[in-house]
Amino acid sequence: MNTNNNVNNEQVKLDSLSKIESINAVEGFDPNLTVSSESELTPLEKAMNAMCPIAKYKDKTLGEMIRIDPGALAYVAKSGDRYGHEIAGYAKLICENAVQKTSA
C-alpha cells in the first residue's frame, strides 16, 4: 500500500514540476518577483484577519469577534485612542459591513 502512495506522490511532484516549468516559460516571467499576499487582500479581508486587541480575546481575529461578542467589537471600533486607529478602523469597517448585510 505504501508503494502506491509513493508512486502517487512522485506523480504529483512531477506534475508540479511540469507546471512550474510551464510558468517559467511564460514571456516576461520574473522568478525573483514576489507578490505579497497582504497586498492582495481587500480592506475588509485585512480587517477580518486583524487580531483582537482585547486581552480576553487575544487569540481571536476581529472577524471572529462579530460572531463571538459584537459589543466588544463595537467597543474596539470606538476606542482608537486606546487600541490604535488602524485596529479601531478595522473594527468599524467590520461593524459597518455587518449592518449593510443585515439591512439588505
Grid cell 479601531 in the structure block, residue: 88
Give the residue among 12, 79, 41, 98 at the shortest CA–CA distance from 4: 12
Q: How confident is the model at residue 72 (pLDDT cuts 50, 70, 90)?
A: very high
Q: Provide the pLDDT for residue 103.
A: 85
Average pLDDT score over residue span 53-77: 96
What is d(CA 60, CA 37) in angstroms, rounded to the nearest whole number? Answer: 21
Average pLDDT score over residue span 79-97: 96
pTM score, whole prediction: 0.61
Q: How confident is the model at residue 104 (pLDDT cuts 50, 70, 90)?
A: confident
- Taking a C-beta distance cutoff of 8 angstroms, is the pair 52, 60 a contact? yes
Average pLDDT score over residue span 42-69: 96
Question: Residue 95, exposed/middle/buried by CB under 10 A (0-12, 13-18, 19+)?
Answer: buried
In this structure, what DSSP letter does residue 51 have?
A: B
